[in-house]
Chains A and B, each alone.
Chain A
Amino acid sequence: MSVVLIVAIVLPLIAGSALIAFPVDDRRARYAGVAVTGAVLGLTVVLAGAFDRDDARTMQFETDRAWASSLGLRFHLGVDGISLPLIVLTALLTFLVAVHSLGKLPDGGSARAYVALVLVLEAGVLGTFAALDLILFFLAFEVVLVPMYFLIARWGTPGERGPAAFKFILYTLLGSALMLLGFLLVQAHTGTFDITELAARGGDGMSRGVQITAFLAIGLGLAVKVPMWPLHTWLPDAHTAAPTGGSVLLAGVLLKMGTYGLVRIAVPALPQGAEEFAPYLGAFGAVGIVYGSLVCLALLRSPDGDLKRIIAYSSVGHMGFALLGIATLTAQGINGALFVNIGHGLITGLLFFLAGAVKERSGTALLGRIGGSLYARAPRLGGLLAFAAVAGLGLPGLAGFWGELLAMYGAYHPADELSRGLFLVLLVAAALGTVLTAAYMLGIVRAVCGGPGLAASGTSETDDVGPMAEGAPLVRVDPLPDVGRVDVVAWAPLVAFTVVLGLWPATLLAVTDPAVRALLGGGA
């Protein structure tokens, strides 16, 4: 079965490279994209089916071969309960993005190039989640940079895409360069790049000082990706400028690479470093939760508030919960973080799809110009947006709820080494954040979906508010195209999984929990 894992990673890489190198006409390229991502999704489902749930704590489907032995680089792949859900999520979201690309793509380049970049991106993300060698992890981490840069720079919103794409790649590269230094420092003291081996040793062979330095370097690199406040500033620009598919992948899977790296590498391999920095991680996470929601509220009140930017800032808040969960260094907290990852991937992926649909249909993502009244103009779209927003605020019964609950539960009883008082304060801040989150998520619904569907003629397009606007008769706002066939295919799985994971969280927790406990056990 380990072949299946390799194929799932290498297939999109080869297909993407082939699409870049050889001229294929655009229509075929789109279908090839759907076929390849569909095949990868099928392979990951096969993996999930063959995965031994009773033994989720150990690595399965392992491959371990020397690649560049002089560097100590090994081609070491494997899947356990922590990475399996993320791998399936990645395959699912990429497939949905490929399906979505059957519809209209923004101008910027050929659909062939778009599909090719998405495929290479998928290979990089899957490789990151399956890599069990530090350098291989780093390589896969870097693979996503160039495709995502081009997705933003070529298909993004004209005017803002260039700087946003540069900001994205320069920030992330600075982070990953630091991360590489941390990896090399670990190797210099332990003699191995093997992630499972390092987790099993739990920091043996590294003095406290080395662990702290290495954790600082690795943690900073990953924190840029998470993104952790105050290193998040690349994210709103990149999300706002990116095309719909790019935003979905960026929020849905790329951000997860940061928290995944913390759980997989930094915390288990460097327990003393983790202990030292956990309060900071938690505090920055909590600040991110509150800060993200405050920015969203401010954007909501501003006429220039951009729907995609609000969702981007909501990601800062949600990933703050993941950081807080990891910072507790408890099984509950880390399980919560992983649950936040999956829930956020599903819900924010859906939100970005919907925001993209609104932007495409009304021609703008600015709240002041969308015109509101989505319930009246495109009832199904409005209903879905309301659903996604409610899921995003963490309503019990939907996927967003459990992760935040577990993270906060972890903060109530943090690991013994950590100061409980501090984490109680963070808990209160996070709780405040959930209230604020609910406020802005409902605010989005009111601003975009609400409204009578009637407006004074001319006000729905603020560009040409003429002298006639005063006292003009009320007219129906133009209806918008509602959910189409491609949209149903692209969005229905996200809605379904949001509900399923909300109602039966155990389907996910049963897989992650043993692996998390194994990691913490190895680290304690």
Chain B
Amino acid sequence: MNPVPPTGGSVLAAAHGPLSLVQDIDWAAIAPPLAVASAALVVLLADLFLSGPRKVWLAWLSLAGLATALGLLLPLRGGGRATFCAPADPATGGPPACSYVVSDLTLVLQLVLIGSAAVVVLLSMPMTAPRPWADESGSDRAVPGGEYHFLLLASVAGAVTLAAARDLVTLVVALETLSLPAFALVGLRRDARGGEAALKYFLLSVAATAVLLFGVSLLYGATGAVHLDRIAAALTTLDPKLDTVAATGAGLVLVGFAFKVAAVPFHFWLPDTYRGAPVPVAAYLSVVSKTAGFAGLLLVAGIGLRPYAHVWGPALAVLAALTMTVGNVVAVRVATGSGDAVRLLAWSSIAQSGYVLVPFGTAAGDGADLADRLPASVAYLAVYAVMNLGAFAVVATVGRDRPTGVVGDYRGLVRVRPWLALAMAFFLLCLAGLPPGLMGLFAKVAVFQSVVAGGTGWLAVVMAVNVVVALYYYLVWTALLFQPPVPGPPPVAGDGEAAGTLGSGGTLRVPAPFAVAIGLAFGLGVVLSVAPQIVLRVLTVPGLLG
């Protein structure tokens, strides 16, 4: 039976009776991704008619599309909408299953994804429309604006859809819509470094997709369902002979998503990709793409594979411990070694992924209390988006005038651009989880709370040690901001001669879009530090995971 009361397509539906394949679509529910996708097409077309300085309108169009999508989230506030539903299962008599569900979880994730994408667009403006921001020296190595914004919005559309997807096929399609444009974005600058980064990202990503698809097929074979809630129902009553098949499928699906979120040991693509990509694209990958990956993981593990929590729980716990430990240890080595700013943020973002994975690792034997644990990951993701985007925004700003891109460039930043330095210090301390970065601290407390309440003591201790290790490199960087500039080579070795000259006479331009992006992240960070309940509410929303 078609669960949606026939209105629009009622003639056909009535004519074909209960077997009708034509169904009504809740357009309001799918409006946000539609708005983003339409904006992508508009940008692609507009690119043909805009030239020269007017290319900047492409970025404004992108922003308008994302703002519309944000606005369209408003009417959905109540949640509880669904569309693309399969009729109730005639065999089991179970409820209808829907492919696209707008729940509280969907809304939170879509809000984070679209908001972060808007900040990325701001960061991309000088790069995609050199005038009026670029100077004669061409420090903004131009990328084609039309293609760039089209690809970016297309990717965002995939991410936004992914957050609402509730069946494996939609999930995979959304994930690919997210990933394919991202490969191109990484290599869009068409230099050797970008090309290598894009190729590496592409090859490993495709391999991961293959693994994911294989897992999906095994799960489908074992359960006969693609909808997450039906898979969950089928797994609880599974023929024991199929248990191994289903468990293998579950494992492979999770590996596919682990690649997306760059969990160790599936992280090898990440540092080189971030380093080779333009900084705004790296910011995009580290926040939007990663949040979408975690959204997929949340949905698949938290809903579809909930009966198998005893299988994937311990595995993800080990993965979380590995991810944060490797991320932090290598980040410390980067900080004491080459001091490359983007590489440092790349490894730090791997470590941060580990913290997001921690609540997954506490999955209890039967998954009964999963719904109390996993929301901590959502809260952490939301906070992480703000602080990581802020840090990337500052790196993008400083990187324009200091192309060496090493941490030593930040020495004495406070003398040149006091507010920029204070904002960077705030973001770094948020990432470290120390006051005054209360936002990051609250997020870490939420994760700690979930893991301690879940009874996985060893993971809590591993994370505690990691937080301390991570403090080292965040603090080295923060301290540099306030150090007086010294003539001569900076203590953090760089390969460039320009390093360390920032405080001694060098100027630093902050283009208006960068200032707005940093101001937004900083303002939001301060608000969330004072009133953390805005984000932490997700911890106590009943039935966040359905």
Interface residues of chain A, those whose CB is within 8 Å of chain B, are: 17, 20-21, 23, 66-71, 73, 109, 113, 124, 135, 138-139, 142-143, 145-146, 149-150, 153-154, 166, 169-170, 173-174, 177-178, 180-181, 184-185, 187-188, 213
Inter-subunit contact B536/A177 (CB<8 Å) = no
Inter-subunit contact B449/A184 (CB<8 Å) = yes
Inter-subunit contact B422/A20 (CB<8 Å) = yes
Inter-subunit contact A170/B471 (CB<8 Å) = yes
Q: Contact check: which of B442, B452, B538, B540 meets A185 at CB < 8 Å? A: B452
**CA A63 to CA B279, docked complex, whole Å:** 46
Inter-subunit contact B448/A184 (CB<8 Å) = yes
B21 partner residues in chain A, CB cutoff 8 A: none
A180 partner residues in chain B, CB cutoff 8 A: 445, 448, 464
Inter-subunit contact B537/A177 (CB<8 Å) = no
B434 partner residues in chain A, CB cutoff 8 A: 142, 145-146, 173
Inter-subunit contact A139/B441 (CB<8 Å) = yes
Does any Cβ of A come within 8 Å of B461's Cβ?
yes
**CA A124 to CA B429, docked complex, whole Å:** 16
Inter-subunit contact B448/A181 (CB<8 Å) = yes
Interchain residue pairs A-B with the least CB separation, the first 6? A177-B464, A184-B452, A70-B536, A70-B539, A143-B435, A188-B453
Which of B438, B445, B479, B533 counts the most A-chain CB atoms under 10 A from its CB?
A: B445
Q: How far is the CB of A182 from chain B (nearest CB, A)?
A: 9
Inter-subunit contact B445/A146 (CB<8 Å) = no
Contact with A along B422-445 (1 / 0, CB 8 A): 100000010000111010011001
**CA A336 to CA B465, docked complex, whole Å:** 34
Can you list 22 residue pairs at the A/B interface with Cβ under 8 Å?
A17-B436, A68-B442, A70-B537, A71-B532, A71-B539, A109-B482, A124-B435, A142-B434, A149-B475, A149-B479, A166-B472, A173-B467, A174-B468, A177-B468, A178-B461, A180-B445, A180-B448, A181-B452, A181-B461, A181-B464, A184-B445, A184-B449
Inter-subunit contact B471/A71 (CB<8 Å) = no
B539 partner residues in chain A, CB cutoff 8 A: 70-71
A69 partner residues in chain B, CB cutoff 8 A: 533, 540
Does any Cβ of A come within 8 Å of B499's Cβ?
no
Inter-subunit contact A139/B435 (CB<8 Å) = yes
Q: How far is the CB of B453 from chain A (nearest CB, A)?
A: 4
**CA A518 to CA B441, docked complex, whole Å:** 33
Q: Contact check: which of A138, A166, A181, A185 meets B475 at CB < 8 Å? A: A166
Does any Cβ of A come within 8 Å of B446's Cβ?
yes
Known A-B contacts A166-B472, A170-B468, A170-B471; the reply to A68 vs B536 at CB < 8 A is yes
**CA A180 to CA B460, docked complex, whole Å:** 10
**CA A103 to CA B449, docked complex, whole Å:** 47
Does any Cβ of A come within 8 Å of B221's Cβ?
no
Inter-subunit contact A169/B536 (CB<8 Å) = no
Q: Contact check: which of B429, B445, B457, B479 meets A71 at CB < 8 Å? A: B445
Inter-subunit contact A169/B475 (CB<8 Å) = yes
Which of A109, A124, A184 counts the most B-chain CB atoms under 10 A from its CB?
A: A184
The A interface, classified by DSSP as helix, strand, loop or mixed, is helix
Does any Cβ of A come within 8 Å of B484's Cβ?
yes
Q: How far is the CB of B470 from chain A (nearest CB, A)?
A: 10
Interface residues of chain B, those whose CB is within 8 Å of chain A, are: 418-419, 422, 429, 434-436, 438, 441-442, 445-446, 448-449, 452-453, 457, 460-461, 464-465, 467-468, 471-472, 475, 479, 482, 484, 532-533, 536-540
A177 partner residues in chain B, CB cutoff 8 A: 464-465, 467-468
Inter-subunit contact B464/A71 (CB<8 Å) = no
A213 partner residues in chain B, CB cutoff 8 A: 457
B452 partner residues in chain A, CB cutoff 8 A: 181, 184-185, 188
B453 partner residues in chain A, CB cutoff 8 A: 184, 188
A21 partner residues in chain B, CB cutoff 8 A: 418-419, 422
**CA A67 to CA B434, docked complex, whole Å:** 18
Q: Contact check: which of A66, A73, A153, A170 meets B479 at CB < 8 Å? A: A153
Q: How far is the CB of A16 from chain B (nearest CB, A)?
A: 10
Known A-B contacts A169-B471, A188-B453; the reply to A70 vs B479 at CB < 8 A is no
Q: How far is the CB of A394 from chain B (nearest CB, A)?
A: 36
Inter-subunit contact A70/B441 (CB<8 Å) = no
Which of A146, A166, A174 counts the most B-chain CB atoms under 10 A from its CB?
A: A146
Known A-B contacts A71-B446, A142-B434, A142-B435; the reply to A154 vs B482 at CB < 8 A is yes
**CA A153 to CA B475, docked complex, whole Å:** 11
Inter-subunit contact A150/B536 (CB<8 Å) = no
Inter-subunit contact B475/A178 (CB<8 Å) = no
Q: How far is the CB of B36 from chain A (nearest CB, A)?
A: 30
Known: A149-B479, A180-B445. 4 other contacts (CB 8 A): A150-B482, A173-B468, A184-B448, A188-B453
A143 partner residues in chain B, CB cutoff 8 A: 435-436
A23 partner residues in chain B, CB cutoff 8 A: 418
Q: How far is the CB of B371 from chain A (nearest CB, A)?
A: 14
Q: How far is the CB of B537 from chain A (nearest CB, A)?
A: 6
Q: How far is the CB of B526 from chain A (nearest CB, A)?
A: 10
A178 partner residues in chain B, CB cutoff 8 A: 461, 464
Inter-subunit contact A70/B533 (CB<8 Å) = yes
**CA A109 to CA B479, docked complex, whole Å:** 12
**CA A135 to CA B468, docked complex, whole Å:** 18
Which of A69, A113, A173 counts the most B-chain CB atoms under 10 A from its CB?
A: A173
**CA A17 to CA B529, docked complex, whole Å:** 14
Q: How far is the CB of B475 from chain A (nearest CB, A)?
A: 7
Nearest B-chain residue to A184, judged by Cβ: B452
**CA A284 to CA B348, docked complex, whole Å:** 38
Q: Contact check: which of B436, B449, B460 meets A187 at CB < 8 Å? A: B449
Q: How far is the CB of B229 from chain A (nearest CB, A)?
A: 26
Q: Contact check: which of A20, A71, A146, A170 meets B536 at CB < 8 Å? A: A71
Nearest B-chain residue to A13, judged by Cβ: B436
Nearest A-chain residue to B464, judged by Cβ: A177
**CA A66 to CA B533, docked complex, whole Å:** 10
**CA A66 to CA B536, docked complex, whole Å:** 13
**CA A213 to CA B455, docked complex, whole Å:** 12
Inter-subunit contact A109/B532 (CB<8 Å) = no
A70 partner residues in chain B, CB cutoff 8 A: 446, 533, 536-540
B482 partner residues in chain A, CB cutoff 8 A: 109, 113, 150, 154
B442 partner residues in chain A, CB cutoff 8 A: 68, 71, 73
